[in-house]
A and B are shown apart, each in its own frame.
Chain A
Amino acid sequence: MFKKAQLERLFVSLVMLAFVSLAISIIGIKPDIFQKLQFLFLTVAIIFVTLIWAQSKTIQFNSNRLRKQIFGWLLSSIFSILIWSFAQKDIQSIFPSLKGYRKALNTLEPIAIYLAIVFILFALILSIVGARDSRLDRPGYIERTLVYNLSSKIAAIPMMLTSVGIFIIATLWTVYHSFTNSRMLPKSEFIGLAQYERLWSSDRWYMSIENLAIYGACSLVFSLFIGFLLAALLDQKTRFENTFRTIFLYPFALSFIVTGLVWQWILNPEYGVEKIVRSLGFESFVFNPLYNTDIVIYGILAAGLWQGTGFIMCLMLAGLRGIDQEIWKAAKIDGIPMWKTYIQVVIPMMRPIFITTLVIIAAGIIKVYDLVVAQTSGGPGISSEVPAKYVYDYMFSAQNLGQGFAASTMMLVSVLIVLIPFAYLQFGRRKYD
């Protein structure tokens, strides 16, 4: 038959599978099947527990901590049972004050039942096989899984739930519904790739992509270049360095909405740069990028750069400060000019910082939305539309969820296309320090 450790491992994985099926059934994907699956898993798990018991026979209570754990699990199960009992009509008729919470209790009832089962099961398992492995005199697999460093496991649960819930389930949910004809509310009526066909035949989407490409390329190149240049200048033992750093970083303290508004005023022909230059006497001076469909995206770019470059500079400055001063001395002795030292020695050494910066800039590019809304609302016409705005408008204004989901799925796909080879190159090979 099986070895004890294998049985233990099978049991733990079955419990976990049961958890997963519970989660899936709660979300609403084929609830009838997954609910049954979950009970099936639990039943098989219980069979395995009996098998383990049959094999080990002896029950040893050597550790105080284990007893405390078992007691804790039992206590938790009693609480769960209490909550479950509060939801029962008979109990409620005895304690009328509970009736006020009937709704909350009814919601909690299935969870309470499930938790009670799980907790009792945990206590049972611990008492049967979680005792010390008599041969090796060390904790068994289950004890290690369930008991060791328990507080850290409990502390990790909210983050795990968030990341699984938001990043995986919500993403899958979005992709799933992008193939449906959901309008105001999501529904599961499949229409194949129709949403995507509509997306790719829309002028507005093409305009958004084009704008994002221009904005992205320019913002990447310029914020890296200007940021590094400013950092390199500040690194030359500049006087009042702190003051300059604060000034450069100051725009980063403003939100995109405020930045957008400020730049809208600056670029506005009626009271911005054009007005000032005209009042100086140049009557024919024209400078209104936000009203020119060809260059409106560059007006938005200017605001974005003004806001973000200071932060990039700070990252770069931190990177430059991390370079050993003796490298500079060595380069000086070797007679390498400063610009060459930067390009051939220092920048390659700053590779990790550049990667961090690149990720931050790229994330900023993809999610650019509020800047456009504050400055132009996508206008004139559709000439300053961006994908994030397309998604938002279709999901919440045009009440066409399917179309919005299709657009956001396209954004996700394009990010992944860039990110996966990059991540592979970055993390997939051996690194030198």
Chain B
Amino acid sequence: MNSIEIKNLSLNFGDVKVLKDLNLSVEKGEFLVLLGASGCGKSTLLNCIAGLLDITDGQIFINNQNVTWYEPSERGIGMVFQSYALYPQMSVEGNLSFSLKNAKLSKEEINTRVKNASEILQIEDLLKRKPAALSGGQRQRVAIGRALVRDVEVFLFDEPLSNLDAKLRTELRVEIKRLHHKLKNTMIYVTHDQIEAMTLANRIAIMRDGLILQLDNPKTIYNFPVNKYVAEFIGSPSMNFIEGRLDGTNFEFDELSFNLEGYSFKEKIKANSQVWLGVRPENIVINEADKTMPVNCDVVVEVVEPMGADTLVWSSLNGKELRFTVEGNKIVNIGDKLNVGFDPAHVSIFDFETEDRL
């Protein structure tokens, strides 16, 4: 059963087309993350679902009900904002109960709901405080609580963790995941942080210029990106790209040539076509692996960036930049000659012109 269904949604601001004929369906209880660079339309899409923006064309269904022209409050959604958007002159309790009071719920009902929400979010001690007297993490908890008390089917998160510092972000991320596990509500989460997307999502929708490029589970998106943009956007450090020619299963560039037997092509390719070869830094192994890996060559280390758990090494392959990670306890020095290799099963090949996966 679909919790949210979007059919042919488009949105124009004057002549600017922000969302273009977008289709999306989200299952009940699913955690969907909309991921993309700024300006890709992900927040706009969320605002359309919430009813905060009037759409130009298309339909939105929530719980199999056409809500396209419903008021935001009638859609059965709760929303959490980046800037928390708490009502500053009300106490935490006032913030939580404001919408319920306005909906004329009974006092007992309001009290039980506020109590439940504050228990789930562990903010019982803060109920009498004003938002100004709370820390960023506490404020965001209250904001989530405000969505929680409304007892809604769908939760919308608009970059909720962007205003927090790195440590709090990690903590609250886990908490949101736990909350989802407990409540089993449908959640749509907008972010530009790929770590948040990878860790939280059941499915990720990668957006660019008002279009969804790829909608799949995180693993598939990471390992089988549909085009070069997605491959570049997901993963840190980002994927290495080598420009070359593909002749059968032979990848050639400059004097070097790799045999890519083992790579599963989506379709049959024309002989001798120009392609991008993409390899993730962590799929490149060094030295002792050279015998086992089908593809290998020699490189010189240029820059070393130790990051604790592993070390990022910058080198070059025939003048093209090549990044790869080695284990943190391995000692690599600038100027070292290394033999690197990778398995063709783990690479991605994209058409040079269309940048689509082959």
Contact = CB atoms under 8 A, between A and B. Distances in A.
Nearest to B84: A326
Contact of A349 (B74, B84, B89): B89
A186 B323 CA distance: 90
A332 interface: yes
Nearest to A334: B99
Interface stretch (B75-83, B109-117, B119-127, B296-304): B75-83
B146 A330 contact: yes
Pick the most buried of B51, B74, B85, B133: most chain A CB atoms within 10 A of its CB.
B85
A336 interface: yes
B16 interface: no
A340 B132 CA distance: 22
B136 interface: no
B142 to A, nearest CB: 11
A158 interface: no
Contacts of B88: 348-349, 432-433
B130 A432 contact: yes
B98 A336 contact: yes
Given A326-B85, A329-B52, A335 B130 contact: no
Contacts of A340: 102
Contact of A330 (B74, B85, B130): B85
Contacts of B137: none
B73 A335 contact: yes
Interface string A194-219: 00000000000000000000000000
A336 B73 CA distance: 8
A333 B83 contact: no
B331 interface: no
A189 interface: no
Contact of B73 (A334, A345, A432, A433): A334
Contacts of B132: 432-433
A333 B89 contact: no
B52 A336 contact: no
B73 A333 contact: yes
A324 interface: yes
A363 interface: no
Contacts of B103: 335
Interface in B14-56: 47, 50-52
A27 interface: no
Contact of B77 (A324, A333, A432): A333
Contacts of A345: 87, 89
Contacts of B245: none
B99 A348 contact: no
B79 A329 contact: yes
A184 interface: no
A326 B139 CA distance: 14
Nearest to B51: A332
A277 interface: no
Contacts of B73: 332-335
A420 to B, nearest CB: 25
A333 B133 contact: no
A33 interface: no
B102 A335 contact: yes
Contacts of A344: 87, 98
Contact of A334 (B47, B84, B102): B102
A348 B90 CA distance: 10
Contacts of B72: 329, 332-333, 335
Nearest to B87: A345
A337 to B, nearest CB: 8
B208 interface: no
A412 interface: no
Contacts of A336: 98-99, 102
A327 interface: yes
B228 interface: no
Contacts of A335: 71-74, 99, 102-103
Contact of B81 (A326, A337, A348): A326
A330 B86 CA distance: 8
B146 A334 contact: yes
B87 A327 contact: yes
B131 to A, nearest CB: 8
B185 to A, nearest CB: 15
19 contacts: A324-B83, A326-B83, A327-B85, A327-B87, A329-B50, A329-B79, A330-B87, A332-B51, A332-B52, A333-B73, A334-B98, A335-B71, A336-B102, A345-B89, A348-B88, A348-B89, A349-B88, A432-B133, A433-B88
Interface of A: 324, 326-327, 329-330, 332-337, 340, 344-345, 348-349, 432-433
Given A335-B103, A345-B89, A348-B88, 19 more contacts: A324-B83, A329-B50, A330-B81, A332-B71, A333-B50, A333-B72, A333-B73, A333-B78, A333-B79, A334-B73, A334-B98, A334-B150, A335-B102, A336-B98, A340-B102, A344-B98, A349-B88, A432-B132, A433-B88
